[in-house]
A and B are shown apart, each in its own frame.
Chain A
Amino acid sequence: MIRVVLPQHLRTLANVGNEVTLEVDGQPTLGAVLDAIEARYPVLRGTIRDHVTLKRRPFVRFFACQEDLSHDPPETRLPDTVATGAEPFLVVGAMAGG
Chain B
Amino acid sequence: MSSVRVLVGTRKGAFVLTSDGKRKNWNVSGPHFAGWEVYHLKGSPADPNRLYASQSSGWFGQVIQRSSDGGATWETVGNKFVYDGTPGTHMWYDGTPHPWEFKRVWHIEPSATDPDTIYAGVEDAAFFRSTDAGQNWQELKGLRTHDSGSRWQPGAGGLCLHTILVDPTNPQRIFVAISAAGAFRTDDGGQTWRPINKGLRSEGIPDQTAEVGHCVHRLAMHKSRPNVLFMQKHWDVMRSDDGGDSWREVSGNLPTDFGFPIDVHAHEPETIYVVPIKSDSEHFPPDGKLRVYRSRTGGNEWEALTNGLPQRDCYVNVLRDSMAVDSLDSCGIYFGTTGGQVYGSADAGDTWAPLVRDLPPVLSVEVQTLK
Is B62 in the interface zone, CB < 8 Å from A?
yes
Given A9-B35, A9-B36, verify A45-B80 contact (CB < 8 Å).
yes
A42 to B62, CA, bound (A): 14
Q: Which residue of A lies closest to B60 (CB)?
A: A47
Contact A94–B59 (Cβ < 8 Å): yes
Q: Which residue of A lies closest to B77 (CB)?
A: A43
Of A51-59, A66-74, A82-90, which binds chain B? A51-59
Contact A51–B82 (Cβ < 8 Å): yes
Is B310 in the interface zone, CB < 8 Å from A?
no
Contact A93–B59 (Cβ < 8 Å): yes
Contact B80–A97 (Cβ < 8 Å): no
Contact A57–B82 (Cβ < 8 Å): no
Given A9-B35, A9-B36, verify A45-B79 contact (CB < 8 Å).
yes
Residue among A46, A52, A97 making CB contact with B61, cutoff 8 Å: A46
Q: Which residues of B contact A47 (CB under 8 A)?
A: 60-61, 63, 79
Is A13 in the interface zone, CB < 8 Å from B?
yes
Q: Which residues of B contact A97 (CB under 8 A)?
A: 58-59
Contact bitstring A17-47, B, C-beta under 8 A = 1, else 0 = 0000000000000000000000000010111
Contact A13–B59 (Cβ < 8 Å): no
A10 to B36, CA, bound (A): 11
Is A60 in the interface zone, CB < 8 Å from B?
yes
Q: Which residues of B contact A51 (CB under 8 A)?
A: 79-80, 82
Report the interface size class on chain A.
10 to 19
Given A51-B82, A52-B82, verify A9-B60 contact (CB < 8 Å).
yes
Residues in B59-81 with C-beta less than 8 Å from chain A = 59-63, 76, 79-80
Contact A13–B63 (Cβ < 8 Å): yes
A10 to B60, CA, bound (A): 8
A94 to B58, CA, bound (A): 10
Contact A43–B76 (Cβ < 8 Å): yes
A9 to B62, CA, bound (A): 12
A31 to B59, CA, bound (A): 19
Residue among B36, B58, B59, B62 making CB contact with A46, cutoff 8 Å: B62
Contact bitstring B26-48, A, C-beta under 8 A = 1, else 0 = 00000000011000000000000
Is B57 in the interface zone, CB < 8 Å from A?
yes
Contact B76–A46 (Cβ < 8 Å): no
Q: Which residues of B contact A57 (CB under 8 A)?
A: 59-61
A94 to B60, CA, bound (A): 10
Is A48 in the interface zone, CB < 8 Å from B?
yes
Q: Which residues of A contact B60 (CB under 8 A)?
A: 7, 9-10, 13, 47-48, 57, 60, 93
For residue A54, give the distance in angstroms from its CB to the closest CB of chain B. 13
* A residues adjacent to B (C-beta < 8 A): 7, 9-10, 13, 43, 45-48, 51-52, 57, 59-60, 93-94, 97
**Cβ-closest 5 pairs across A and B:** A47-B60, A59-B59, A93-B59, A43-B76, A51-B80
| Known contacts A45-B79, A47-B63, then 12 further A-B pairs from the complex at CB < 8 Å, ordered by chain A residue | A9-B36, A43-B63, A46-B80, A47-B61, A51-B79, A51-B80, A52-B82, A57-B60, A57-B61, A59-B59, A93-B59, A97-B58
19 A-B pairs, CB-CB below 8 angstroms?
Answer: A7-B59, A7-B60, A9-B35, A9-B60, A10-B60, A13-B60, A13-B63, A43-B63, A43-B76, A45-B79, A46-B61, A47-B61, A48-B60, A51-B82, A52-B82, A59-B58, A93-B59, A93-B60, A97-B58
